Structure 1
Amino acid sequence: MRVMVVGAYGFIGAHIVAALTAAGHEVTCAVRGARIDSRFPGLKAIACDMARDTRVSDWLPRLEHIDAVVNCAGILREDGANTFRAVHEDAPLALFRACEQRGIRRAIQISALGDPADGEFIASKHRGDAALSKLALDWLILRPSLVYSAYGSYGGTSLLRALASLPWVLPLPGKGEQPLQPVSANDVGAAVAAALATPACARQVIEVVGPQVMPLRDYLLAWRHWFGFATPRIWNVSPVWVRIAAAIGERIGRGPLGQTISRMLDRGSVGSVGALAQMRDSLGLAPQPLAQVLRASPSHVQDRWHARLYFLLPLLRVSVALLWLGSGIVGWWLPETDVVPAASGHAIAPHLALWLARTTATADLLLGALCLLRWHWRWVLSLMLAMLLGYTVGIGTLWPAHWLDPFGGLLKNLPLIVALTMLIATDERR
């Protein structure tokens, strides 16, 4: 079967593509920019933009020679044109209406398990589900609970893995009794493959959940033991502080920490009473428990790196931004009488030294602010690195005595160069 997967390179989408490919389907990946992902060599990729492709005419040409469509696209936060309404409602509805016009009957929507009262992420997903259910298609809506994988993570699962890997302590919201029914990403992929192989499984909503309900505390401890870290000291965090952290994350963060995730965790992520039976009867699927999945895939040092760098990399970025801001403030605050004498006796005119000091201070302020705001920050970090290399080579050549500064003024640039390079290299961290 020729299947188009929208959002194919995302966390869940990639597992679905892998499952469909293993099942012998011909997969077309509809992704932003139509870039070819090295994980799926040989698969066709076509361009789409869920923030803007909200008309049926946007999708009709892409559906030529397609037999079925799987929509995995989704966002945890709104960002510019990427709104919940566009990505979760308008663009999917245009896609599914285009399927109607093309005569493509099979349409599978990857939604989310939860209560619409928990926030617009869930509410918009469910409104998109409702719109699909009114169309004359053999539609199927899958609502996974908390999705995890031993081979990677994304969004809220990355946050939980990072919490599980903190040194010495394990912070738990309240007492960590929030119920979860986690499901493996491999089982989500298997559910989609089984659905395509079962045409009669149509026009229903299926909750895709794991076989075991467990408290958040046990879920985090399972991951900690999988990482190979020592048993931690449990730190019960007051719900008040959790709400404060969620409110701050909602206002200034771009990651999963926010009020939606906080409310979803408080309510728990558990399927209805008959969810497992429905999965078995409709799809012939028996999902694996968390312990079995983790035993079958031992952790590696890269897993521990990723989990422990999850919180450290943002702190490194903020500290670099503050350093640049501080350098810019000092560059402007330093009086002319201190700048000009510093250039005396060297191959640079005093007035040029003052101009360079003020210009570089302005650049430092601008780059520091943009880095703090994460505005095109790969480019910003690259400019920071270029400036730092320029400082190091220029000052080290014109004033070589600075290499011997007892406080290591110029030598400190060397670890900063490495830090900036590491931030650029980890730009794809999720």
Structure 2
Amino acid sequence: MRVLVVGAYGFIGAHITAALTAAKHEVVCAVRGARIDSRFPGLKAVSCDMARDTTISDWLPRLEHIDAVVNCAGILREDGDNTFQAVHEEAPLALFRACVEQGIRRVIQISALGDPADGEFIASKHRGDAALSNLALDWLILRPSLVYSTYGSYGGTSLLRGLAALPWVLPLPGKGEQQLQPLSANDVGAAVVAALATTASTRQVIELVGPEILNLRDYLLAWRRWLGFAAPRIWSIPSFLGRIAAAAGERLGRGPLGQTISRMLERGNIGSADALEHMRSNLGLEPRRLIQVLDESPSQVQDRWHARLYFLLPLLRVSIALLWICSGVVGWWLPDARILHAAPGHALSPDASLVLARTTATADLLLGTLCILRWHSTFVLSLMLAMLLGYTIGIGVLWPTHWLDPFGGLLKNLPLIFALTILIATEERR
């Protein structure tokens, strides 16, 4: 079967793509820019943009010679044109209507398990599901619970891994009794393969859940054991502090920490009473327990790096951004005489020295602010690195005595250069 997978390179989409490929289906990846992912070098890719492709005519050319469609596209946060309405409702509905026009009957929608009252992420997903259910298609809506993988993480699962890896302590909202029904990403891929293999499971919603209900505390401890870290000291965080952190993350952050995740945890991310049996009877799927999945795939040092760096990398970014901002403030605050005194040897004229100092101070302020805001992050970090290299080389050549500064003023640039390089190298964080 020739299957168009929309969002094929995402966390869940990649597992579905791999499962379909292993099942001998011909997969066409609908992704932004039609780029070929090195993980799937033999697969065809077509370009799509879920923020803009909101008409039937956008999708019809991509559906030629397609037998089935799997939509995995989704966002956790709105960002510019990438709104919940566009990505979860308008673009998928245009795709589904194009399937009707093209005569493609089989459509599988990867939605999300949760209550629409938890936030617009869930609400918009379910509105998209409702729009699909009104079309004359052999549709199937799959709503996964918390999806995890030992081969990577994304969004909320990355956040939970980071919490599990904190040194010495494990902070938990309340007593960590929030309920989860986690499901392996490989089992999500198996569910899609099974759904395409039968025409019996159509025009219904299936909740994809794991075989056991765990509380948050046991879930995190299982991951900590898998990562190879010692048993932690449990810190119980009052619920109101957790809500304050979620509200701050909602307004100030761009990661998964926000009010939607907080509400989902408080309510419990579990399926209905018959969800497991419904999944088994319709898809023939027997999901694996978390402990079984973890034991079958031991962690490696890279897993521990990733988990420990989850909170450290943002702190490194903020500290560097503050350094740039403070440098800019000092560059404007210092009187002219102090600036000229700091440039011994008179390699530049006084006027040129002052212009250079004020210009670089302005650039420092601008780049530090943009770094905090994560505006075109890789580009901004690269400019910061270029400026730092310019400072180091320029001052080192024009005023070489600064290399002998007893406080290592110029030498301190060297570890900063590598810190910026690390941030650039780890900017892609799924």
TM range (shorter): over 0.9
2:115 alignment partner in structure 1: 115
2:370 alignment partner in structure 1: 370
- Cα drift, residue 347 of structure 1: 2.0
> Match of 1:20, as an amino acid?
L
> Match of 1:349, as an amino acid?
S
Contact persistence 2:343–2:399 (CA under 8 A): no
User: Percent same amino acid at aligned positions?
Assistant: 80
Aligned mates of 2:81, 2:347 — CA distance in 1: 51
Contact persistence 1:403–1:410 (CA under 8 A): yes
2:183 alignment partner in structure 1: 183
Aligned mates of 2:370, 2:251 — CA distance in 1: 17
Q: Are 2:232 and 1:232 equivalent residues in the alignment?
A: yes
Aligned mates of 2:342, 2:382 — CA distance in 1: 29
Residues 246-395 of structure 1 correspond to what in structure 2 (within 5 A)? 246-395=246-395
2:59 alignment partner in structure 1: 59
> Match of 1:315, as an amino acid?
L
* Worse overlay, 397-406 or 35-44: 397-406
Aligned mates of 1:354, 1:101 — CA distance in 2: 67
SS at match of 1:192: helix
1:49 alignment partner in structure 2: 49
Aligned mates of 1:170, 1:260 — CA distance in 2: 22
SS at match of 2:70: strand
SS at match of 2:140: strand
1:86 alignment partner in structure 2: 86
Aligned mates of 1:163, 1:345 — CA distance in 2: 53
Contact persistence 2:345–2:399 (CA under 8 A): no
- Cα drift, residue 407 of structure 1: 1.0
Evaluate the alpha carbon distance shift between residue 239 and residue 348 of structure 1 in structure 2; reply closer, same or farther with a 3 A threshold.
same
Taking only aligned residues, the RMSD between alpha carbons, in angstroms, comes to: 0.7
Contact persistence 1:180–1:270 (CA under 8 A): yes
SS at match of 2:206: strand
SS at match of 2:271: coil
Aligned mates of 2:135, 2:182 — CA distance in 1: 31
Aligned mates of 1:238, 1:211 — CA distance in 2: 30
SS at match of 1:418: helix
- Cα drift, residue 341 of structure 1: 2.9
SS at match of 1:345: helix
> Match of 1:60, as an amino acid?
L
Residues 92-107 of structure 1 correspond to what in structure 2 (within 5 A)? 92-107=92-107
SS at match of 1:266: helix
Contact persistence 1:339–1:357 (CA under 8 A): yes
Aligned mates of 1:238, 1:32 — CA distance in 2: 42
Aligned mates of 2:112, 2:338 — CA distance in 1: 61
1:196 alignment partner in structure 2: 196
1:142 alignment partner in structure 2: 142
Aligned mates of 2:344, 2:287 — CA distance in 1: 74
SS at match of 2:346: coil
Aligned mates of 2:117, 2:131 — CA distance in 1: 19
Contact persistence 2:344–2:399 (CA under 8 A): no
1:20 alignment partner in structure 2: 20
- Cα drift, residue 350 of structure 1: 1.3
* Worse overlay, 342-351 or 275-284: 342-351
Long gaps (5+) in structure 1: none
1:409 alignment partner in structure 2: 409
> Match of 1:40, as an amino acid?
F
Contact persistence 1:19–1:193 (CA under 8 A): yes
> Match of 1:14, as an amino acid?
A
After superposition, what is the alpha-carbon deviation per residue over 1:305-327, rounded to whole angstroms, capped at 9, x for unaligned?
00110001011111111000000
Contact persistence 1:226–1:299 (CA under 8 A): yes
Long gaps (5+) in structure 2: none
SS at match of 2:38: coil
- Cα drift, residue 337 of structure 1: 1.1
Contact persistence 1:341–1:350 (CA under 8 A): no
Aligned mates of 1:151, 1:344 — CA distance in 2: 55
2:210 alignment partner in structure 1: 210
> Match of 2:179, as an amino acid?
P
- Cα drift, residue 344 of structure 1: 4.5
- Cα drift, residue 338 of structure 1: 1.1
Aligned mates of 1:118, 1:351 — CA distance in 2: 59
TM-score scaled by length of structure 2:
0.99
Contact persistence 2:389–2:417 (CA under 8 A): yes
1:424 alignment partner in structure 2: 424
> Match of 1:217, as an amino acid?
R
Aligned mates of 2:332, 2:419 — CA distance in 1: 25
Contact persistence 1:51–1:91 (CA under 8 A): yes
